[in-house]
Structure formats: structure tokens, C-alpha cells
Structure 1
Amino acid sequence: MIHIPRHAEILKLLSLLRTVSVGDFAQRLEVSEVTIRKDLAQLEEMGCLIRTRGGAQIAEDTRILKTIEVRQRERIEFKRSIARKARDLIREGETIYLDAGSTCLLLAKELGGINLRVVTNSIDVMVVLSAFPEISLISLGGSYRREAGSFVGPMAIEALRMLHIETCFLGTTGFSSRGIFSSQNLIEAQLKQKVLEVSKRRVVLADSAKFGREAFSIFARAGDVDVLISDSDFAHEKELRALGIEVVAADHP
């Protein structure tokens, strides 16, 4: 989940000290190191900082803190609008997959009152959906990635081999005009690939800020994704539609 006040404090510390360790963040902000690692992963995804071994360092564009705070709030609203648009694609009674990540978590919060079967590898998504009695919840096992709050690895992949997913919703660290979708983590990318294999309709949720980013591990290319839902600022629909990807623009927040 995104916690704006704490994220702002993290960026303030980095603007003053340039480089800060996970332990120092945890002590100053009075939260666990696990929580800090998740915060740093989210802020790196936004382009606000660069994670280092054991901590983080400032990114060049974090010097103007007010601008960063505004951008964070805007991105959350964009992600909410994407989540609401994604909800419109879900049909009563179907089986869907929800990925780990902030936009999929926002989508989970929109699912109350719908009769669904939901498969997920995200602890945060599980917690949200456990409050909805009309949803049948299936959790993938596997190795737990604390920084992402997700289960990954061979056990999770093996569990997917036994399932048929009607619609999957995946997040991405970056995507390009060539229809390449990528993740920072190789093990996460491998799981996403398997999800795509067992899903009939494949949907990626990505705000426009992620366009043009190329992360380490490619998990999908043109032909592997049916639908991209992005925000109203996304201006490269033609390139992706030419590759056979349906592009859906969420309403402006």
C-alpha cells in the first residue's frame, strides 16, 4: 500500500543525507525494516529514489520535494481510476488473478459485492478480499518476498499449472512501444509468465509514468497481453494497438 506521509519523510531524509540505510530509516520513522523495504521498492518504482545494498540514495528529481509529493498524490489518483476501469471488465462468477502491486491492490478494494473466485500471490490483496464473504479466495504458496508482500518461486508456479484463469490482472515496472512488459525481479517475472500462460484474457494495469521504462526481466511481449489499461495521460495508444493490444484509457481522476 502507499503511505504518503511516510514516503514524504523518507524523501526528506534522502534530500538531507543523500544516502540512508534501511536500519536508519526504520529507527527514525519508528517502523519495521520490512515496512521500509516495501516503501523503498514503491518509491523506486515511481522514480523517486535509487535502492542500494542495504538502503537507498537520492534520485536527481527528488531535490524538489514539493513536486514529488504532488506527483505521488497524482499517481495514486491515476491508479485508482485504472482500478475502477479494470473492475468494469470483471464478470460475475468468473475466476480472476490479481497480481501483487499497488494498482491491483486498489482493484481488490473495488470488488466488494461481486461473486468471484480470486487467485492471488499478494498478502495485501488476501487481507482486503478476506473481508468480502461473496469472494472465494485462493492463495498461491511459495517463497515469500517481504519487500513485495508476494509469494513466488517453483511452488507458486506449480500451483498455477493446476488452474484455469479467465482474466488475469498484472502490474508491470515498465512497458514500451514495442509491446515489451518488464519487472525488476526475475522470480516475479517468471511467475507472471506462468499466469499469462494459464489465463484466457490477459490484462496489464500500468499508469503512463511507466511507459518507456525498461526493467531487468521481461515477462511479456506483444501477443502475450490482450488489454492494457492506463490513465488518460497515456499518449501512445496507436503503437500498442498496431501490435494487437487493446488500449483502454481510464477516466481522468
Structure 2
Amino acid sequence: MAGRSFNRQVLAYLEATGEARVEEMAGKLSVDATTVRRALRRLSQMGLVERVWGGARLFQAVRYVGEMARNQEEQRAAKQAIAAKAAALVKPGARLAISGGTTCTLVARLLRNKPIHVYTNAVNIAVELFSYPKTKVFVLPGELNLFSYELVGPETVAYVDRLEALDLLFVGASAITAEGFYVRDEPEAEVARALKRKAKEVYVLADTSKWGRQPVARGFFAGLGEVTAWIKED
């Protein structure tokens, strides 16, 4: 099998899954493990993937610490499944907005170098999409939230109000009750609600463990019937 062609197959598989073990890729791509390891070594040298124990993952442009790092590992398989479903909804040429959070970050990684326009108030997501020329990234202005990577405040909302219509909005929820979907706090909710007013389709991304979880702060985003769909792992 031609080296470059197979490298592209391995990279495409990781773009779809985010992370995979060598044996898994060998089985899915119908080759032996040695061939996969050789491709991963080349892709790693090119800075496109990172080797992890027993496999590899897409290169992470941002090194997360503290709460964000812990959240990335919580319900990881569920979040990856949700991210794959969300990314599949994005068509070439789409104009979409992505809020912050670990699941939305996984979505962003799956959208790298797709011919789309991405608007985000999450600085880490902007960096995750950095250096992919087909993906046009627009960072909303504002004040950096002390408890997340998101830019918030009146300036952010005013910028959103001036935007043309968006095709899609992805918002990560921190809690879901019978009342509706919640994000971390009111400043983030205010920006998310402004983006919701601009989007033709609105998707909440959250694993089922968020159902019944009481919000820590009053960051109400939308009622259960006010979004296009809640994308969950099952």
C-alpha cells in the first residue's frame, strides 16, 4: 500500500474518532499493526498526530490543565460519540458558531480544515482550529471569563447581534433539568442566547449524566423545546 495514501487513511480515521488504538485501526483499515505504527510515526513527525500508549490521537494544539483537563476525561467515550454526531451535521460552506466546553472542543477538532466559517467565543477552540487554511475562524470579542476559556460581556453580545444568520449553533450544557438547558453561568448564557437568536438550527451537546444535574449558577440557556435537538451519546 502506498505510504502517503495510507497515511491519509490513518489521519482520516483519527479525524473521525479523535483517538484510537493501533489494533483498532489495523482492524478497521485491514492492515497489520506494523503498517499502522509506521504511518503513525510519519504523521507524528509531521506534527499531525500525537502518540499515546497503545495508539494515537489528533494533535492537541492546546494543553489543558486543572478543571478543563479533568472534564476532558469525564465521560470521554460519550463525549467523543456526541462530537462525531455533531460534526456529521456540518456541511461544506456552513456558517456555524461553537461555544466552549470539552464536548464542543472535540467537535472543533473533527472540523479541522473543512471549508466552513466558524464563529466562537472560546479562545481554546480558535487555537484548536489554528493553521487550517480551509477553516475560517472568527473570534468574538469580549472579556475572558475567569472560570473558562470563553469571552463574554456586552461587547460579545453586541458583536453577535451584528452577525448575519448562522446555519448551526453548538452549545455544551453543564446541567439539564425539566426546565431546560444550562451553561456554566449567566455571562456565558447571555452570549449563548444571543447566538441562538442568529442560528437556524441549535444543538445542545451533553451526555446523559447531565440530566437531572442541578445548575451551580443560574446560567439558563433554553427550554427543552426551544432547540433543534439535544445530541447525546445514545
Query: What TM-score do the two structures reach when normalised by structure 1?
Result: 0.62
Letter in 1 for 2:225: G
Counterpart for residue 69 of structure 1? none
Q: Could you tell me whether the CA contact under 8 Å between 1:196 and 1:224 is conserved in 2?
A: no
Root mean square deviation of aligned Cα: 2.0
Shift of residue 41, structure 1, vs aligned partner: 6.3
Structure 1 residue 40 corresponds to structure 2 residue 41: no
- In the alignment of these two chains, the number of paired residues is 169
Letter in 1 for 2:176: F
Shift of residue 186, structure 1, vs aligned partner: 1.1
Structure 1 residue 121 corresponds to structure 2 residue 126: no
Distance across 1 between alignment mates of 2:103 and 2:67: 17
Distance across 2 between alignment mates of 1:95 and 1:205: 18
* Runs of 5+ unmatched residues, structure 1: 1-34, 47-71, 233-253
Q: Calculate percent identity across the aligned residue pairs.
A: 27
Letter in 2 for 1:219: F
Shift of residue 179, structure 1, vs aligned partner: 5.4
Give 3-state SS (helix, strand or coil) of 2:157's partner: helix
Letter in 2 for 1:96: L
Counterpart for residue 225 of structure 1? 227
Provide Cα deviations, 1:131-189, integer angstroms capped at 9, x if missing partner.
Answer: 2110111110011114311100100000001112110000011112x350012311111
Structure 1 residue 166 corresponds to structure 2 residue 193: no
Q: Could you tell me whether the CA contact under 8 Å between 1:79 and 1:231 is conserved in 2?
A: yes
Provide Cα deviations, 1:77-123, integer angstroms capped at 9, x if missing partner.
Answer: 21111101111111110100011110011100001242100000011
Counterpart for residue 210 of structure 1? 210
Counterpart for residue 107 of structure 2? 107
Distance across 2 between alignment mates of 1:85 and 1:179: 25
Distance across 2 between alignment mates of 1:76 and 1:111: 18
Q: Could you tell me whether the CA contact under 8 Å between 1:172 and 1:204 is conserved in 2?
A: yes
Counterpart for residue 8 of structure 1? none
Letter in 2 for 1:108: A
Counterpart for residue 84 of structure 1? 84
* Runs of 5+ unmatched residues, structure 2: 1-62
Counterpart for residue 151 of structure 1? 151
Provide Cα deviations, 1:31-79, integer angstroms capped at 9, x if missing partner.
Answer: xxxx99x623675xx6xxxxxxxxxxxxxxxxxxxxxxxxx74611211
Distance across 2 between alignment mates of 1:74 and 1:188: 21
Distance across 2 between alignment mates of 1:179 and 1:87: 27
Letter in 1 for 2:95: T
Distance across 2 between alignment mates of 1:175 and 1:129: 28
Counterpart for residue 18 of structure 1? none
Distance across 2 between alignment mates of 1:179 and 1:40: 26
Distance across 1 between alignment mates of 2:69 and 2:221: 19
Distance across 2 between alignment mates of 1:151 and 1:74: 24
Give 3-state SS (helix, strand or coil) of 1:223's partner: helix
Distance across 2 between alignment mates of 1:42 and 1:171: 16
